[in-house]
Amino acid sequence: MNQQSNPSRITEIRPKVVFQAVENRFQDQNSEFTVNIPSSAIGGLTLLESAILTSFVKLITPTAIFEFGTYMGATTLLFARNSPTSTSVVTIDIDPDTTVTQNDISEADYLSDGDANDEHLKDIFATNGAIYIDRAEAELKQKIIRIHQDSTSIDPQQQKFMKRFQLIFIDGGHDFNTVKSDTENALKMAADDGIIVWHDFRSQIHDDVTRFLDGFATEHEIIHVQNTMLAFMLLGKYKEILI
Domain 3-27+44-240, what architecture? Answer: 3-Layer(aba) Sandwich (3.40)
pTM of the model as a whole: 0.90
Question: How wide is the angle at C-alpha 186 spanned by C-alphas 66 and 17, nearest 5°?
Answer: 75
Query: Whole-angstrom Cα distance, residue 168 to residue 216?
Result: 17
Residue 3 has a pLDDT of 47
Tell me what pLDDT residue 2 has: 45
**Number of Cβ within a 10 Å radius of residue 243:** 8
How far apart are alpha carbons 213 and 135 in whole angstroms? 35
Amino acid found at 119 = E
Q: What is the pLDDT along the chain (243 residues), one digit of tens a residue?
A: 544 444 569 999 999 999 999 999 999 999 999 998 877 776 689 999 999 999 999 999 999 999 999 999 999 999 999 999 999 999 999 887 676 666 666 555 455 555 656 666 677 777 777 999 999 999 999 999 999 999 999 999 999 999 999 999 999 999 999 999 999 999 999 999 999 999 999 998 879 999 999 999 999 999 999 999 999 999 999 999 987
Q: Please give the pLDDT value at position 142.
A: 97
The domain segmentation of the chain, as residue ranges, is 3-27+44-240
Give the containing element (helix H, strand E) for 208: helix 207-216
Task: Give the containing element (helix H, strand E) for 75.
Answer: helix 74-82
